Amino acid sequence: MTYDVEKLKDILQDAGWYQGRKNDMQSIVEHYRTEGTPLSNEQISFLEEYSDIEGMSNTGDTFKFFSDPLFWHRINPRIQHGSLLQTAKTFDEIGMSYLNPLNLRMVREHITMLEIGWIDMTHIPLHISSDGRLFRDDGHEYGKMCLDTLAKLLMPWDIK
């Protein structure tokens, strides 16, 4: 897989990212630990480097990566929102009525999923798993979190 790394960095920098970025996520980490669902090291690393940036992919789709565990509640407090960190170890825990592809992967692979943002004008939710893989809400896996994965997400037309 080849792509222009500098072009990818430009997209990320335009969104607010910079080399060596490391946001303090201690209050976020503590929030989830208090809820009884601690974040993995991979999820924390993602939040430290990429949380709270917002930009546009080379296809013209907007994207946003956020860290606030109450993000959706703050946007619309009248609607009850669950935790951004989803965990399920058995099918009984998620219920047969909610067996979407993401939940199936959580159960089968024994991982948690943290919603970390969206891509596209339709706001397709993005999740990072406890083992560091990036997923769409429909269960599509982009791969282990790295620049190559961000290139697949933010520069799909420029990958050769």
Each domain of the chain, given as residue ranges in start order, spans 5-158
Q: How many residues does the chain have?
A: 160
Instruction: Decide if 111 contacts 43 (C-beta within 8 A).
Output: no
62-65 vs 53-56, strand pairing mode: antiparallel
pLDDT at 118: 86
What's the DSSP call for residue 96? G
Burial of 93-105, coded b for 16+ CB within 10 Å and e otherwise, reads ebeeeeeeebbeb
What is the per-residue pLDDT for 11? 96
**Is there a contact between 114 and 43 (Cβ–Cβ < 8 Å)?**
yes
CA 24 – CA 48 distance, rounded (Å): 6
Q: What CATH number labels 5-158?
A: 3.40.1580
pLDDT of residue 2: 92
- What stretches in the chain show pLDDT beneath 70? 70-99
- CB contact at 8 A, 133 and 102: no
pTM, 2 dp: 0.84
> For residues 57 and 155, what is the distance between their CA atoms, to the nearest angstrom?
6
Please give the pLDDT value at position 70: 67
